Homo-oligomer: A and B are copies of this chain.
Amino acid sequence: MRDGVILPGNVLKVDSFLNHQVDIEAMRFMAQELQRRFEGVKVTKILTIEASGIAIATMLAHYLHVPFVFAKKCLTINSIDDKYVSHAFSFTENRRHSVYVSKPYLSPADHVLVVDDFLAESEATHALIDIVRQAGATLAGIGIAIEKGYQKGGRLLRDEGYHVESIAIIKEMDVKTQTIRFVDQG
């Protein structure tokens, strides 16, 4: 509420603590909160997407004692493995990404908790879910740092029956007054 900067076009800039500089205390809090919300849910692996999802995935992996995988956005010459490939349109970058995970790192035995920093139109989240499905793994749930409640992603995912937990859900933002209102999650 204090450090987010609202830009025109409903863009929330959180570079000072989440997307560029990372406030490790905030990250620790968010990871512990996700751990609490998914208590009792079987998780063998965390799946996120590079780059901004990696910090929260690292802290959550630290608390849950499971490995994590970060899906990649472009191919490098080091990638010789077979891959699960999906696609996501990035509204921030205004282009479509290929998103992939090398096959050895997800298996049908895995219970996968998908984690990301933002949920808006759910392009990235749906790409990750698609990869979990391709691997034949079980989707344990979806943990998000900040959900833009006024965009359709969260509703879509919940309507599809997924267990979605967002630390903060933004109800509305005002660029003129730089105010943010959150959904009261009780």
Contacts and interface: CB of A to CB of B under 8 A. Distances in A.
Interface stretch (A58-66, A140-148, A151-159, A178-186): A58-66
Contacts of A80: 7, 13
Contact of A24 (B27, B62, B76): B62
Contact of A68 (B24, B28, B51, B81): B24
Contacts of A78: 7, 11, 13, 15, 19, 92
A62 B61 contact: no
Given A20-B70, A58-B58, A92 B76 contact: yes
Contacts of A93: 76-77
A19 B81 CA distance: 13
A67 B20 contact: no
Contacts of A15: 78-79, 81, 102, 105
A177 interface: no
A62 B105 CA distance: 26
Nearest to A11: B78
Interface string A75-87: 0111111000000
A174 interface: no
A16 interface: yes
Interface string A39-58: 00000000000110011011
15 contacts: A15-B78, A15-B81, A17-B67, A21-B67, A21-B69, A21-B104, A22-B61, A23-B67, A24-B66, A24-B68, A25-B65, A27-B58, A54-B55, A58-B58, A77-B93
Question: Nearest 5 A-B pairs (CB), nearest first?
Answer: A50-B51, A58-B58, A54-B54, A24-B61, A51-B51
